[in-house]
A and B are shown apart, each in its own frame.
Chain A
């Protein structure tokens, strides 16, 4: 199975600050990487697919990048509504696997 390692496990950011979350795959996943945001009591919502393609309706302050085994999600200007838990997911091979999540809070 492809293991997905996310870092950091948690972070706090000030309003307007740029935030970066990292995700490392245990093998090359050829940009088969998605990012999700989950708010308390809600289901995950897709932000990014194909490592860098923005899902419809997602604010442009979210962006994804990376290749090979290393990927990142960037929030260019932290907003209050960006608080939540962020997960990465590899989509290259079954079993599809998720990272353990990064909890993002407002400082």
Chain B
């Protein structure tokens, strides 16, 4: 059974940092791309970042480029999201998701973790 479990969320002041982790099990982690997706009541679902199987390719939404870093450790079956210079607008539930593709350039998220809440506030 595929399982993804996020950790590391919490309350943090604006400008500070936080690192999220996602522990994966039930599948060959190194065979899949991974992603972070966040959700708020006002903005809905927002893709944040993706990483390729080996970690050599990373992708970010513009609003987090230069502030967030996605990474993975295939030996530990874990992916990470380092979030620096946090802003109030980064407040959201952050989901870890397994990313798969269909016929080439068609990316989707076939398994999601339960999410971890990040609140950026003074």
Interface membership of A20, Cβ < 8 A: no
Residues in A57-78 with C-beta less than 8 Å from chain B: none
The secondary-structure label for the interface of chain B is strand
* Alpha-carbon distance A92/B102, docked complex (angstroms): 10
The residue from A31, A46, A98 contacting B110, defined by CB atoms under 8 A apart: A46
Tell me how far the C-beta of B34 lies from the nearest C-beta in chain A, rounded to whole angstroms. Answer: 13
Is the beta-carbon distance between B102 and A50 smaller than 8 angstroms?
A: yes
In the complex, A36 Cα to B95 Cα: how many Å?
14
Q: Is the CB of B45 within 8 A of A91?
A: no
Is A100 part of the contact surface with B, judged by Cβ < 8 Å? yes
With A94-B50, A98-B44 in contact, is A49–B108 under 8 Å at CB? Answer: yes
| Chain A, interface SS category | loop
Contact A95 B61 (CB under 8 A): yes
Residues of B within 8 A of A31 (CB): 106
Q: Is B102 touching A96 in the complex (CB atoms < 8 A)?
A: no
Is A49 in contact with B45, judged by CB distance below 8 angstroms? Answer: no
A–B complex contacts, Cβ < 8 Å, 15 sampled: A30-B105, A31-B106, A34-B109, A43-B95, A43-B112, A43-B115, A45-B112, A46-B110, A49-B106, A49-B110, A50-B103, A87-B44, A94-B59, A97-B47, A100-B44
Residues of B within 8 A of A (CB): 35, 44-47, 50, 59, 61-62, 95, 100-103, 105-115
